[in-house]
A = this chain, B = another copy of it.
């Protein structure tokens, strides 16, 4: 996996109707252009009549044409005949990742820290928040912080300012690191499959507000967190990653919140990492996450 992050590799992501010959066509194409495959994963919902998904990581070294030529040729020679939806991303293009946060900064800090330690291949052009609290932390990492308060008379204006800000910065990914504002359908549709949220419960359990209180009330023996893409329906988007921890009758709500912070941080970081490495494909309301 480490080799995948070398600057000199590209990732090809494909989905198309399943039928014989797809792997042969793609691998033959890559080989004919001098590229060696480093890793490949595939999945089919059903070999007869289902959808086929593939991720291939290949070396750019040895490529006999430019990137643009390669993409153009792939489109006409392979993708079109197989009716593929596809994209190629390059490991040397570090994805621009905007982070939105409210008051709780544990998820934010985890991402900033992983970025700094080199675990997360992201460029973070901005952090925005409806609260001023995270400002000093963000700025200590040398990242611009934008305080966009929500006015009492409605959040429309704030969201507009946020959209303008994002338009300027052109993020590839927007991470809601405990951003406690619901985004409008217009906002969401502007960034399809590009907004990741962390929900502090094991979805579909405890949708909506105060999930730790709900978990405490129900007396569950395990709590969790869920990272998912944001869609118009609250907490219903495609799930990318989940994890859990065992709890008992001894934990108060306050304890659940504390234990939960540990899970939230890790689950969100893993999901963001998977997205940044182009390991996630969305299919209807579910995800394929390649290892």
Q: How far is the CA of A30 from the CA of B37 in the complex (A)?
A: 18
Tell me the nearest residue of chain B to A284, going by C-beta.
Answer: B219
Task: Check: A262 CB closer than 8 A to any chain B CB.
Answer: yes
Question: By the criterion CB–CB under 8 Å, are A242 and B222 in contact?
Answer: yes
Question: By the criterion CB–CB under 8 Å, are A36 and B47 in contact?
Answer: yes
Q: How far is the CA of A286 from the CA of B127 in the complex (A)?
A: 41
Closest Cβ–Cβ distance, residue A61 to chain B (whole Å): 10
Task: Check: A168 CB closer than 8 A to any chain B CB.
Answer: no
Task: Check: A189 CB closer than 8 A to any chain B CB.
Answer: no
Tell me the nearest residue of chain B to A9, going by C-beta.
Answer: B47
User: CB-defined interface of A1-19 with B at 8 Å, one 1/0 digit per residue?
Assistant: 1110000000000000001
Q: How far is the CA of A201 from the CA of B262 in the complex (A)?
A: 21
Task: Check: A193 CB closer than 8 A to any chain B CB.
Answer: no
Q: Which residues of B contact A1 (CB under 8 A)?
A: 250-252, 255
Task: Check: A113 CB closer than 8 A to any chain B CB.
Answer: yes
Q: Which residues of B contact A44 (CB under 8 A)?
A: 38-39
Q: How far is the CA of A204 from the CA of B223 in the complex (A)?
A: 11
Q: Which residues of B contact A35 (CB under 8 A)?
A: 20
* Chain A stretch 115-141: residues in CB contact (< 8 A) with chain B: 117, 119, 140
Task: Check: A24 CB closer than 8 A to any chain B CB.
Answer: yes
User: CB-defined interface of A23-59 with B at 8 Å, one 1/0 digit per residue?
Assistant: 1100110110011111111111011000000000001
Question: By the criterion CB–CB under 8 Å, are A24 and B20 in contact?
Answer: no
Q: How far is the CA of A250 from the CA of B22 in the complex (A)?
A: 19
- Which among B34, B206, B244 is the interface contact of A20 at CB below 8 angstroms? B34
Q: Which residues of B contact A291 (CB under 8 A)?
A: 248, 250, 291
Q: Which residues of B contact A252 (CB under 8 A)?
A: 1-3
Tell me the nearest residue of chain B to A44, going by C-beta.
Answer: B38
Question: By the criterion CB–CB under 8 Å, are A262 and B254 in contact?
Answer: no
- Which among B243, B285, B286, B287 is the interface contact of A222 at CB below 8 angstroms? B243
Q: How far is the CA of A178 from the CA of B243 in the complex (A)?
A: 26
**Contacts A1-B250, A286-B249, A289-B248; A24 near B31 (Cβ below 8 A):** yes
Tell me the nearest residue of chain B to A216, going by C-beta.
Answer: B286
* Chain A stretch 36-95: residues in CB contact (< 8 A) with chain B: 36-44, 46-47, 59, 62
Question: By the criterion CB–CB under 8 Å, are A258 and B119 in contact?
Answer: yes
Given A43-B249, A140-B140, 9 new contacts (CB under 8 A): A1-B252, A23-B37, A38-B44, A38-B47, A202-B202, A202-B205, A203-B205, A244-B244, A249-B289
| Contacts from A to B (Cβ < 8 Å) | 1-3, 19-24, 27-28, 30-31, 34-44, 46-47, 59, 62, 106, 109, 113, 117, 119, 140, 202-206, 218-222, 224, 238-244, 248-252, 254-255, 258, 261-262, 266, 285-289, 291
